[in-house]
Amino acid sequence: MDVTIRRARIGDVRAMRRLLDGYATQGILLDKPTVTLYEDVQEFWIAERDADAEVVACGALHVMWEDLAEVRTLAVHPDCLGHGVGHRLLDKLLETARWLGVRRIFCLTFEVDFFTRHGFVKIGEADEIGVGPGIFDELMRSPDEGVAEFLDLEHVKPNTLGNTRMLLHL
């Protein structure tokens, strides 16, 4: 399948919304308000099918700290699964992380095998995340739910879907 991986634009948000809705209703991805997609559009990359310019995948890279980012909201249209679109999109997110100078990438996922093929490993308790007390305290100040998920804080556990916390060292 021929796709072009590019930065998301405002005009892509409605297509991204449709992609996410399918997975959110199945409990595979946490739902995001549409306003959040607009606010964070600069973090997203999309895969656009060359044949018809349809948005068939999206994913975001959210920087959490000077050496830490999270892959978020990675979704591929069900008709495009198995064609390498998700791998190409994740490769672009990791390339972006390297360009930014990020050394560690976090994700919260059900797709453990997919992320493992890219070098991610499962992490457990908060002491495995490799942040010192000062950085932990700074991260605790963030209102971002993804940061709380990374830190494995109790208040986000009722909101998570039972997925796996993973980390990649670049």
Q: What is the pLDDT of residues 132-150, one digit of tens each?
A: 555 555 555 555 555 545 5
Percent of the chain having pLDDT more than 70? 77
How many other C-beta atoms lie within 10 A of the C-beta of residue 97?
22
pLDDT at res. 166: 87
Which burial class, exposed, middle or buried, applies to 2 when counting CB atoms under 10 A from its CB (0-12, 13-18, 19+)? exposed
**Mean pLDDT confidence for 43-58:** 97
Q: What is the pLDDT of residues 106-134, one digit of tens each?
A: 898 889 999 999 999 988 755 455 655 55
**Mean pLDDT confidence for 75-95:** 97
pTM recorded for the entire structure: 0.82
Angle at 86 between CA 92 and CA 49, to 5 degrees: 90
Q: What is the pLDDT of residues 10-50, one digit of tens each?
A: 999 999 999 999 998 988 888 889 999 999 999 999 999 99
Domain ranges, ordered by start, for the chain: 3-169
DSSP codes, 56-83 = EEEEEEEEEETTEEEEEEEEE-GGGTTT
The dihedral region occupied by 26, where left means phi > 0, alpha psi between -120 and 50, and beta the remainder, is: alpha
**Mean pLDDT confidence for 138-165:** 54
Q: The domain 3-169 is classified under which CATH number: 3.40.50.720, 3.40.630.30, 3.20.20.70, 1.20.140.10? A: 3.40.630.30
pLDDT at res. 150: 55
**Mean pLDDT confidence for 158-170:** 74
pLDDT at res. 135: 53
Element (H, E) at 19: helix 13-25
Does 160 score more than 80 pLDDT? Answer: no
Question: Predicted confidence band at 62 (pLDDT cuts at 50, 70, 90)?
Answer: very high
Does 151 score more than 80 pLDDT? Answer: no
Average pLDDT of the chain, as a whole number: 84
